[in-house]
């Protein structure tokens, strides 16, 4: 598999999330990222020690720096369902 480079188009897919009313929704990666500069990173699983202590905090700590470089959105994906992901997100400041 060839590495992904800046500006490459990634295959489309569907992501699940909870809206503000905690209702399950889905969105395509292409529609979510259309016209934006996004960072999408994946983790093996929510609430795992390494992901919770090493992976996600780095993106949170550097979010403003990344946004200063033109990044519009930082998206974390995992194999977990959207209920678990929202609960996990709520554990971060």
User: Is residue 76 within 8 Å of residue 43, measured between CB atoms?
Assistant: yes
Which pLDDT tens digit goes with each residue over 9-41? Answer: 888 999 999 999 999 999 999 999 999 999 999
Please give the C-alpha separations between residue 36 and each of 9, 29, 47, in angstroms, as whole numbers: 12, 11, 29
Contacts of 9 (CB under 8 A, 6+ apart): none
Query: Distance between CA 28 and CA 6 in Å, rounded?
Result: 20
- The domain segmentation of the chain, as residue ranges, is 26-90
Which pLDDT tens digit goes with each residue over 53-84? Answer: 999 999 999 999 999 999 999 999 999 999 99
Name the residues annotated as catalytic: 51
Nearest to 61 by CA among 49, 79, 74, 47: 74
pTM (two decimals): 0.85
Q: What's the pLDDT score for residue 7?
A: 79
Q: Which CATH class is domain 26-90?
A: alpha beta
């Amino acid at each position: 598999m060839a590495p992904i480079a800046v500006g490459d188009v990634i295959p489309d897919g569907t992501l699940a999330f909870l809206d503000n009313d905690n209702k399950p929704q889905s969105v395509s990666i292409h529609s979510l990222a259309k016209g934006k500069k996004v960072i999408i990173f994946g983790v093996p699983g929510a609430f795992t020690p390494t992901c919770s202590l090493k992976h996600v905090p780095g993106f949170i700590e550097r979010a403003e720096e990344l946004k200063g470089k033109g990044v519009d959105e930082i998206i974390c994906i995992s194999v977990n369902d959207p209920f678990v992901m929202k609960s996990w997100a709520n554990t971060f400041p």
